[in-house]
């Protein structure tokens, strides 16, 4: 059954999240609501796009993902529906779509005209614009009823890794709650290079790694000695196929980010070695 998800920068201390959820339930008591996170940094649509890229495909097709980040109401602000992979996203026209999916198709973008930005009834965008659109879509309604095709959404450049001859130049795009470091280096491109150059070195700051593990089971060959690996660094690809650097059983305070000095924006490079 499709659900409505919420991703916001409102935090959990104030009333705004409750206002959105209450408005959804008042419109349809049977609607299923799933909260992805309310801890997005204020106005940080890049972080919001990262969280949703990681998670939205796990939800049933037909789900509606409300992105209440950097969506302050003003008369010049357009609000959009974006459909991709049979999922809907509701967002302000602030560049979020291009960060979520750089290759988005314009025919799948609509400006929401129901309770549009010129209406006196609009005071709080998530409640007054996103909620009616979400309830319409979750019931199987089509975007054209609450919006119109839109061809000029804001586009922002994404932090893509650079793939050159025998070299991948990436960077840290996120640090999770365990201090694990998430990069923008894709498994697909890495394996493409490795088929030609099997040997490689991962370099960041003054550290070098020579292996990417498939899982913790691959990292710890003898589980009777598991404690010996606590706090040891490893590299692996995440569920969605991007390189991560982590400390086994690390935490936010003593994970890879803090102990290896890898903050957001730091460089992570892979150098492939040609065998002679």
Residue 265: left (phi > 0), alpha (psi -120 to 50), or beta?
left
Indicate whether 115 and 46 sit together in one domain. Answer: yes
> Which structural domain, as residue segments, surrounds residue 211?
162-273
Is 42 a member of any domain? yes
pLDDT-derived band at 75 (thresholds 50, 70, 90) equals confident
Predicted local confidence at residue 106, as pLDDT: 79
Residue 73 lies in a domain: yes
- Looking at residue 119, what is its pLDDT? 61
- Do both 101 and 122 map to the same domain? yes
In terms of domains, do 122 and 174 share one? Answer: no
Asked, for residue 30, whether it belongs to a domain, the answer is: yes
Do 229 and 115 belong together in one domain?
no
Q: Do residues 131 and 260 share a domain? A: no
- pLDDT above 70 for 49: yes
**According to the model, what pLDDT value does residue 118 have?**
56
Given pLDDT bands bounded at 50, 70 and 90, which one contains residue 263?
Answer: very high
Residue 155 lies in a domain: no
Of 69-78, 119-128, 184-193, 248-257, give the lowest mean pLDDT range: 119-128
Is the predicted pLDDT of residue 117 greater than 70, yes or no? no
Same domain, 181 and 143: no
Q: What is the CATH number of the domain that holds 128?
A: 3.40.50.10790
In a shared domain, residues 25 and 117: yes
**With pLDDT > 90 as the criterion, what percentage of the chain qualifies?**
77
Of 118, 149, 180, the position where a domain reaches its end is: 149
Q: Of 149, 172, 201, which residue is a domain's last?
A: 149
- Same domain for 45 and 107, yes or no, is yes
174 & 224 share domain? yes
Residues 133 and 170 in one domain: no
Residue 212 lies in a domain: yes
Q: CATH number of the domain that 259 lies in?
A: 2.40.30.90
Count structural domains, the chain. Answer: 2
CA distance 11 to 101: 25
Place 120 in a pLDDT band, splitting at 50, 70 and 90: low
Does residue 157 belong to any structural domain of this protein? no
35, 98: one domain: yes
Examine the domain organization and report whether 189 and 102 are in the same domain: no
- Give pLDDT tens digits for 154-171: 998 777 888 888 999 999
Q: Is 154 inside a domain boundary?
A: no
Given a cut of 70, is residue 116 above it in pLDDT? no
Average pLDDT on 112-133 reads 83
Of 93, 120, 149, the domain-final residue: 149
């Amino acid at each position: 059954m499709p659900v409505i998800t919420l991703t916001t920068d409102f935090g959990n201390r104030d009333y705004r999240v409750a206002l959105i959820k209450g408005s959804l339930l008042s419109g349809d008591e049977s609607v299923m609501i799933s909260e992805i996170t309310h801890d997005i940094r204020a106005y940080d649509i890049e972080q919001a796009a990262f969280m949703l890229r990681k998670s939205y495909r796990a939800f049933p097709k037909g789900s509606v993902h409300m992105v209440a980040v950097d969506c302050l109401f003003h008369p010049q602000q357009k609000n959009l529906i974006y459909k991709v992979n049979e999922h809907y996203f509701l967002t302000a026209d602030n560049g979020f779509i291009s960060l979520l999916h750089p290759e988005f198709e314009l025919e799948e973008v609509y400006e929401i005209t129901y309770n549009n930005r010129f209406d006196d009834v609009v005071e709080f965008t998530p409640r007054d614009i996103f909620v009616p659109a979400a309830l319409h879509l979750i019931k199987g309604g089509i975007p054209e009823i609450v919006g119109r095709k839109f061809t000029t959404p804001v586009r922002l450049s994404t932090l893509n890794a650079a793939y050159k001859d025998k070299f991948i130049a990436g960077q840290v795009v996120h640090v999770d709650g365990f201090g694990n470091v998430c990069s923008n280096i894709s498994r697909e491109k890495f394996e493409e290079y490795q088929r030609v150059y099997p040997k490689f070195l991962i370099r960041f700051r003054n550290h070098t790694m020579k292996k990417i593990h498939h899982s913790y089971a691959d990292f710890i060959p003898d589980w009777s000695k598991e404690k010996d690996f606590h706090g040891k660094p490893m590299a692996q690809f995440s569920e969605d196929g991007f390189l991560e650097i982590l400390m086994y059983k690390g935490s936010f305070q003593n994970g890879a980010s803090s102990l290896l000095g890898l903050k957001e924006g730091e460089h992570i490079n892979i150098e492939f070695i040609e065998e002679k």
